[in-house]
Amino acid sequence: MSLDRPPAEVRRWIASHLDPLDETILGGMQVRADLSLDPAKAADDTIAWTPAAVLMGLVEREDGLSVLLTRRADTLRSHTGQVAFPGGRCDPGETPWETALREAQEEIGLDPSLVELAGLSTPFRTAGTGYQIMPVVGFISPGFTLTPNPDEVADIFETPFGFLMDPANLEQQERETPAGDRRRFYAATWEGQYIWGATAGMLRALYDRLFGAAVA
């Protein structure tokens, strides 16, 4: 499927590759993990994974879809200054899609009524911080005004969806952790913004859903 097809056709195609907004399926979904890609740790259900959700917002621009992203504030305790989707931990009794919309409104002032939810992508575990993150995909019509919460967000920007869905741009990289381990992860750079870690991992998992690549 080409992303240059008419917007309504692309929207239907993306939605057809997502899981439905259905609470009954959440426990049985396949999970991805940090590209230390430590499969044993990712599958370790003795860890008390904290439920979280993010909004993978796809903005329907005239020249194609773009992905709504933020750069986290430098004052935050975790993932300081990193590029991220709007999102956070789930409140008790909250569905992932309710969390994603609430957090997007709190972090960047995105009105939930402007988001048309399409479905769920692949859950992603961050072994370092113990979160199991549900990516919630939604389509956003242009014309909105966003206001970053300075306590959480330093910057808001968009990156072309086609750029992020090109495996030539979302490369595997490696670095040594403070503990001396080697960590492998996906990363891309767009106009000086370094997109890596969980955010890039969730984008790669969406690519695999849409284009049928084998899970790495």
Q: Which pLDDT tens digit goes with each residue over 69-95?
A: 999 875 655 555 589 999 999 999 999
**Tokens read off for 48:** 């008390």
Q: Domains in the chain: how many in total?
A: 1
Domain that holds residue 121: 7-160
Cβ(133)–Cβ(123) below 8 Å: yes
Q: What is the dihedral of CA 129, 131, 135, 141, to 10 degrees?
A: -60
| Domain assignment present for 155 | yes
Q: Which pLDDT tens digit goes with each residue over 125-153?
A: 887 788 999 999 999 988 899 999 988 89
3-state SS, one letter per residue, for 196-208 = EHHHHHHHHHHHH
Whole-model pTM above 0.85?
yes
| Domain assignment present for 201 | no
| Domain assignment present for 181 | no
Across the range 6-34, mean pLDDT stands at 89
| Domain assignment present for 193 | no
| Domain assignment present for 196 | no
| Domain assignment present for 60 | yes
CATH number of the structural domain spanning residue 115: 3.90.79.10
Strands 83-84 and 171-176: unpaired
